[in-house]
Amino acid sequence: MNRQLITKIIRKILLRDHSLMTKLTVYSILLVVVPMMLVGIISYRESARTLENEARRYSWQIIEQVKIYVEDYFRGFEISTLKIVNHPDTVAFLKLKTLEEANDTDVIQPVRNLLKNSAYSQSDIINITLILDRIQSIHSTVQEDVSTVDGIEREYWYNTIPVTGRPKVYSRLIKWNGREEPVISVVKRIANPQTLQPFGMLVIDVNYKRLHDVARKIKLGETGKGFLFMLDENGYFVYHPYKGLIGTKADPIIVNSIRNEKSGSFIAEVDGARKMFTFSRSESLQWQVVTSIPYDELMRSSREYIGKMIFGTTAIFMTLALMFSIGLAASLVRPIKRLYKYMKRVEIGDFKGKLPVETADEIGMLSIGFNTMVNRLSQLLDEVYFSKLKQTEMHLRQRETELKMLQAQINPHFLYNSLDTIRGMALEHEIESIGSMAAALARLLRYNVKESGITVTVQQEVEIVEVYLRIQKFRFEERLEYRFDVPDWALRQQISKFSLQPIVENCIVHGMERNPGKTVIQLSVNMLPDQLFEIRITDNGPGIPPEKLEQVRRRLDEEEPAEEVHIGMMNVQRRIRHVFGERCGLRIRSVEGEGTEVSVVLPYNPL
């Protein structure tokens, strides 16, 4: 985050661009509202925590009562199973070994009567079925062809029935009177008296009347939207107010939260609503008795009370703070506005009159300072007036000099036209060398004067260097040779305008003119690490002595260019670093007697 952005944020927070009246009013209100909001938040959280604890305690008490009732209720059925299994008629039935033996003996009807009597003794029993594996099954219903145990072996809990003979309670759906009916089945394995291996079972199917009666008497939440349900050890609903959910698996959030826990409470979002769940496990049934209360309903009273308290208290204190801040602001703003009015008079040159001083506070001191300043301004006005006259006179003289210099300058268009005329005359007299040289000089002049922008492409710079060398070729003929090795990708890169020609000119001035032999100037481009590339200009001139080379390198790093330098290597170095950064610029390598190499290091843009 830059400094300018930080300053802008601070100005907005401190209301620096607003009136003093607004600042005083806002700050006064904040001094009241913020503490009141903190008190309200703390009070709300404490009340919410208290309500949650009370709701958990109340739900846990209800769960314990329901759990005791349900355990006692099904314990009665466990006793009934013992009575049925240990009855002499049942014992005789269990001793049967084959279906033919059951048909030959008269033991089935007494057992059926026993089951009917046991079923009629309790109105909530739908059916009692005694099953002898692969031999016979007897049930208590009047219609002998009606069975409530068809497909019982396909129930998810069938393989979990204890083989020890301890009764277990499960929920399931049965076909009864032409419709599906949820029932609670008390299932007991029966062991063979001789082999002690399980070879039958007793199933007592009970309706949900008792559980519904108990659940209807329970009120959870202020509007009664809370409810109670029960889950078996596998997470399946064994009781739910909505019958369609009985026998289905509960939400994974609920199952995972109560798994392996004896009791507890948690808050979770289930079915798109946030709810508080309290649960306790029945050790005898291995069921979890769970209450669910909508969290919004649980917190409603706390929100209404705390909201009214905060709104009422805050409104009262805000009104008082607003009245106080307006009065205080008015007492401060009135003299400041008067001061502003006098300042506007001074702006238009009216230094007459004095600002009245009514108080001895900071505003009064400011008024005294303002009067002193106005007197001082009046005294300085004459001095400034005469000084301004002298400055204006000097400025007019400078303008006159500039105008004369401008009139003395040669119009560049005149030079272009003159060069074009020379080229035309040379071509007319079939002197192509003079024409080519005039055209090259005109192009070089146009590039130097007319091309706009700080940077150009490497291709443009290379073309201008080629034009310059072509002109020099007319002068030195066979003594000068130049080569270009520039790949296509380099032609599209950016470079500071007029950067290569001064370096090539140094090769001519300092290299060729002191070299009696043939001078070769080569321009090539190489890729460097860190997204950089270099344009390398080499010559086979006399080179630079080590002391002179070190001096040149130091001058390249100077902040101010040398006085004698105009468009030389120093200026090229500063323009490149100004545009592309400190890691770019010129690098010079030279060996005395062998030649000089100048590299222009630039950033590589993949385009």
List, for residues 214-226, the tens digit of each pLDDT value: 887 777 766 667 8
Q: Where are the domains of the chain?
A: 52-298, 479-603
**What sign has the CA pseudo-torsion 324, 327, 332, 337?**
positive
52-298 is classed in which CATH architecture? 2-Layer Sandwich (3.30)
DSSP string spanning 175-223? Answer: EETTEEEEEEEEEEEEE-TTT--EEEEEEEEE-SHHHHHHHHT---SSS
Q: Do 479-603 and 52-298 fall under one CATH topology?
A: no
The pLDDT, as a whole number, for residue 522 is 94
Amino acid at 294: P
Q: Indicate whether 265 pLDDT > 90.
A: no
Average pLDDT over residues 57-85: 84
The residue behind tokens 């503490």 is 35
Q: Assign domain 479-603 to a CATH class.
A: alpha beta
Average pLDDT over residues 357-379: 77
Give burial (CB, 10 Å; 0-12/13-18/19+) of 544: buried
Q: How far is CA 484 from the centre of its chain?
A: 52
Average pLDDT over residues 517-543: 92
List, for residues 162-173, the tens digit of each pLDDT value: 877 788 888 887
Cβ count within 10 A of residue 106: 9
List, for residues 91-123, the tens digit of each pLDDT value: 777 777 665 665 656 777 888 888 888 888 888
How many C-alpha atoms does 548 have within 13 Å on its Cβ side? 9
Which of 73, 67, 87 lies closest to 202, judged by CA?
Answer: 87
Average pLDDT over residues 594-606: 92
Contacts of 461 (CB under 8 A, 6+ apart): 495, 497, 498, 499, 500, 501
pLDDT category at 405 given cuts 50, 70, 90 is very low
The pLDDT, as a whole number, for residue 157 is 79
pLDDT category at 208 given cuts 50, 70, 90 is confident
- Find the angle CA(592)-CA(549)-CA(517) to the nearest 5 degrees: 35
Q: How far is CA 276 from the centre of its chain?
A: 30
Average pLDDT over residues 62-73: 86
List, for residues 486-525, the tens digit of each pLDDT value: 999 999 999 988 889 889 988 888 877 677 788 899 999 9
Is-above-0.85 flag for pTM? no
pLDDT category at 459 given cuts 50, 70, 90 is very high
The pLDDT, as a whole number, for residue 485 is 94
List, for residues 6-42, the tens digit of each pLDDT value: 777 777 776 666 776 677 777 766 776 677 777 767 7
SS3 542: coil
Answer whether 29's CB lies under 8 Å from 15's CB: no
Over the chain, what is the mean pLDDT? 78
What is d(CA 472, CA 249) in angstroms, rounded to the nearest whole number? Answer: 95
List, for residues 128-151, the tens digit of each pLDDT value: 888 877 667 787 776 655 677 777
Answer whether 462's CB lies under 8 Å from 485's CB: no
